Amino acid sequence: MLGNLTKALSVACLLFFCNNVNAEFKDWNKTDKILFGTYVGLNVIDVGQTFDIIECQKQNPSCNFMEENRLLGSHPSKGKVLIYKTALTGLSYLALDNSSPAGRRGALLVINVVMLAGVIDNHNVGLRFNIRF
């Protein structure tokens, strides 16, 4: 039950932010909107990979995976992960929305590269992300 709810919430958050990117950010150019949508998408994938760690830890006491984000701790709950990622995405949006267009573009490129590197690293150590409906 919680797994389906979490997946639905993740997809809803992705759709909500992407919809707002298209409808609310009138002063953002198309490239910045796409970059922010990419950032949100990478966050959804990262949450899925973190949930993979949590499931591994629940099913196998000697699971080799540990969360490396110090703010979440090595054994976070799914709720804590969702709250953290949602808050971080909201704060990122506020900071980006209040920056100059040139600064926004540079920041979006940097945070997307950082997020992509994290997702790729997680994948390389064996974490996967699947959405099943």
Domain segments of the chain as ranges: 2-124
81: which DSSP letter?
Answer: H
Q: Tell me the HSE value of 18 on the side-chain side, using a 13 A CA sphere.
A: 15
Residues with Cβ within 8 Å of 75's Cβ and at least 6 positions away in sequence, in order, are 54, 57, 66, 67
24 Cβ contact partners less than 8 Å away, ≥ 6 residues apart:
none
Please give the chain's pLDDT, 133 residues, in tens: 445 545 555 555 555 555 444 435 677 999 999 999 999 999 999 998 889 888 888 898 888 888 888 888 878 899 999 999 999 999 999 999 999 989 999 999 999 999 999 888 887 777 665 555 5
